[in-house]
Structure 1
Amino acid sequence: MFGAPLPNSPPPRLATYFHVHLVSDSTGETLNAMARAVCARFENVLPIEHIYALVRSQRQLDRALGDIEEAPGIVLHTIVDEKLREALEEGCRRMDMPCLPALDPLVSAMQRYLGAATTSRVGAHLRLDNDYFNRMDALNYAIGHDDGQGGQDLDQADVVLLGVSRTSKTPTCIYLAHRGVRAANVPLVPGRPLPEKLFQLNNTLIVGLLISPDRLIQI
């Protein structure tokens, strides 16, 4: 029959999904672009991106490591601070996960060619344009309104995410903030009422995030 596969032709290869964790002490846009460029070189490979932006403290790093442990995969980072780099790499070694400093090979090559020292200033590559400030404002808003914080000014959000714990509310808010979208998240906790402000929103998109009971029990 016309269009039928050849008898000896291999079956079509299904897409391969995998987790890629992008840990940055800045906005993470450079890391995100690099990861997508690399993944585009592989056919039928679909990365599930987890972005951890503005990781500049041990507490933030510990939270990222906790999420990484729950969704094993490849870890790419652009952390400049030596102590945080060591803590991240040690945490990944403990979990037996690959941890790659994405910019190190390029920085080393440039350093050898130029014979110049590198800067340890975080975010030194960023241009201070309007888009940058909008993204930073969105990131600060997402962090300040994580897990039900800052409920008194939810009307300033473009998006509000609702869901029980571990439905990826925080990573999604950070991802949206990278695109300049102000996102807040509110947890659904038994016995705890939702913020009254939530029911007064008129022009804000409210999205509920779901998770299967089996997956939630595993976590």
Structure 2
Amino acid sequence: MKNKEIVYVVSDSVGETAELMVKAVSSQFNKSDVEIQHISYVEDTQDLNNVIAVAKYTHSIIAYTIVIPSLKQYLDERTREEGIIAVDLMNPLMQAFMQKFDAAPERQPGLMRKLDDNYFRRVEAIEFAVKYDDGQDIRGIKRADIVLIGVSRTSKTPLSMYLANKKFKVANVPLVPEIPPPDELFDIPKSNCIGLVITPDKLNEIREERLKHLGLTTQANYAKLDRILEELDYSEKIMKRIGCPIINVSNKAVEETADLILAMLKKRRVMYHE
């Protein structure tokens, strides 16, 4: 039985990039019998000596993504001395970038993994915002980085999604006079909670537009000024009871309100570390 051909994938990080490229190339040769052996997180020349020894013994190829210059140089020199085929999968494109952008690379392992981590944290935050939107599940209050509270149509949902794209886990809770606020709001640090308020006339305008969009009469109680005043008065009492920061969103874009919230968070961190 014919032994499988071995390609050693060597990296000073995980080595996922090299593995994908090796698989792509082997598929072009209909090579289903290629075995990929991982040597990840290479840190020193001893790690390289080990893979060089086994690659020479098995007459194998080394495909690598090593960005630390001293390790790359050592691997290039030693494989050349031993007559081993070693392919740098990143350097040609790295050189092209250096030429095009007239800049030097970071030469730091694992940067792509950091980018991936940022991506997955953002996705997780967005999923969190959807799950704990509009008080659907009060369990999110204690798990959230930020809890937004306010009456209906104070931009709680768009703010939650905007902040989620900044990788913050956000829950939002509507305040309605007929429904007692969740006890959890009073158990979390008050700086984790942000109250959103709005002027009565602006809220009246927004709610009337909302009713028109839904094909409903603007005379509904939802948009009546006395009902709005009742809701706003109730919500501000709850916010004062919690002792949370309050932002008036009347004439602010979502981005502007989000910047104010992020500034509050930054200030909170500075105070915490002092």
Q: TM-score, normalised by structure 2?
A: 0.39
RCO (CA 8 Å, sep 6+): is it higher in 1 or 2? 1
Q: TM-score, normalised by structure 1?
A: 0.48
Structure ID, larger Rg: 2
Higher helix share: 2
